[in-house]
Amino acid sequence: MAEQTQNSVIDSHFQNLNFSQGGNMSRKFSIALLPLAFAAGLMAVGQMSHALQTAPAPQEHGAMGGSTMGSMTPENRLKMLTEKLNLTEDQQAKLKPILEDQSKQMKALHEDTSLAPADKQAKMKELHESSIEKMNAILTPDQQTKWKQMRQEMMEKHKEMKDKGQMDHQ
């Protein structure tokens, strides 16, 4: 349909041009090519947009063990938590080794080819829950509440992205 419309626009444009009427022939040729270049540009943008929409999202475990935050380093995670939860310097110093240890263990689990995917996922969940307990011991009750809400929002966002990804591939 779009191709027919483009062709009819181009055809009507060429019918309206009369190259035999003197004047600058190269100018008329340039004017005739302008709609073609525009149509080609629109098609290229459309194809690129479609490719971006259908590309699968990377599935990496990040800040809270989910994929919504990408692969954040322990330092970036600590910075984000500091900003969102207003962590004190003492809390930051206590959380940093927990985040670093969790990151190392998660990486080791990812690289462990001897584990079945279900076992790997169970161990990651166990590690994640253990880290949450350690971190909660450092946070104030208000910070714990806010952090729990942040994790919940990230999980919901992750679920929406996962559901959307499954719908795109059906």
**pLDDT tens across 57-90, in order?**
443 344 344 444 445 899 999 999 999 999 999 9
Show the tokens assigned to 61: 């475990």
Task: Report the pLDDT value the prediction gives residue 56, as an integer from 0 to 100.
Answer: 44
Separation between Cα atoms, residue 31 and residue 80, nearest integer Å: 54
Task: Report the pLDDT value the prediction gives residue 96, as an integer from 0 to 100.
Answer: 95
Pick 68 or 91 by higher pLDDT.
91
Assign residue 22 a region: left if phi > 0, alpha if psi is -120 to 50, beta otherwise?
left
How deeply is 64 buried, as exposed, middle or buried, from its count of CB atoms within 10 A (0-12, 13-18, 19+)?
buried
If you average pLDDT over residues 109-113, what whole number do you get?
A: 90
Task: Report the pLDDT value the prediction gives residue 127, as an integer from 0 to 100.
Answer: 92
Lowest mean pLDDT among 17-21, 56-60, 122-126: 56-60
The long-range contacts involving 133-140, CB below 8 angstroms and separated by at least 24 positions, are 134/98, 135/95, 135/98, 138/91, 138/94, 138/95, 138/98, 139/85, 139/91
- pLDDT at residue 48 greater than cutoff 70: no
If you average pLDDT over residues 126-143, what whole number do you get?
A: 94
Residue appearing with tokens 């670093």: 100
Show the tokens assigned to 43: 């098609």
Lowest mean pLDDT among 18-22, 110-114, 150-154: 18-22
Q: Looking only at Cα atoms, what is the longest distance across the chain?
A: 86
